[in-house]
Amino acid sequence: MDKKIVLLGPPGSGKGTQTERLCAELKLTKISTGDLLREAVRNNTPLGVKAKGYMDAGRLVPNELVVDLVKEKIKCVEGGVILDGFPRSLEQAELLDRFAKVDLAVDIEVNEDNLVRRLTLRRTCRSCNAVYHLEFNPPKVESICDKCGGELFQRSDDTERTVRERLKVYKEQTLPLTKYYSKKGILRKVDGEGDIGTVYQRVLKAIKG
């Protein structure tokens, strides 16, 4: 598949989880701004140093730190792409349109109480970014990644307080993107409630049309 797909949805709606599966099955390349920024923070790069405060506070990292990152990555990709976590605002969507043509935007919808529960019990692999949930998708061995044996940790922005702030930022800045892509006729909404496999089938159907 060689589509450029934007995955929308609030924090915790399952964008990262579904992206992993879609990339494996449809041979798409993942571009996750959250993963790229966390890697920069981990490696203490100039970008990471500048981004960390915004991320820990649950706010968006400024465009000048994010947009070129995506532009560079997308230039190097042959074939289809899933953009997980980008764009996050109308301004980012308009900038994206200048260097790539989005074929489809899939919006995963989940109610707020479930989002908070999903995020505060999430664990992420330090080595490969695989995502788990202590209740809904636990690792086979506590604190160890099933896929690579890496150590699982809790993201610093997964505390309830920061999660609430991220949800606020999402409603103010990212939610308007559903109208933006709907007007272009490329928005597909997916019910994100239910187990991971059920949601995956819905996302797949939305993408394959």
Active-site amino acid positions = 15, 88, 122, 155, 166
> Hey, what are 8's tokens?
């929308």
Name which of 25 and 185 has its Cβ closer to ligand AP5: 25
* Residue 60 burial class via C-beta count within 10 angstroms: exposed 0-12, middle 13-18, buried 19 and up: buried
Provide the mask over 96-125, with x wherever binding to ligand AP5 is found by CB under 6 A and - wherever it is not.
----------------------xx--x---
Distance CA 30, CA 157 (A): 22
Q: By CB under 6 A, is residue 37 in contact with ligand AP5?
A: yes
Token pair 């764009």 in the structure block, residue: 87
Residue type, 109: E
Provide the mask over 71-100, with x wherever binding to ligand AP5 is found by CB under 6 A and - wherever it is not.
--------------xx-x---x--------
* Residue 96 burial class via C-beta count within 10 angstroms: exposed 0-12, middle 13-18, buried 19 and up: buried
One residue of 106, 199, 203, 207 binding ligand AP5 per CB under 6 A: 199
Cβ(104)–Cβ(6) under 8 Å? yes
From the CB of 120, what's the least distance to ligand AP5, in Å? Answer: 9
Distance CA 159, CA 155 (A): 8
Contact segment (CB under 6 A) with ligand AP5 among 22-30, 74-82, 127-135, 175-183 equals 127-135
One residue of 33, 80, 81, 130 binding ligand AP5 per CB under 6 A: 33
From the CB of 67, what's the least distance to ligand AP5, in Å? Answer: 8
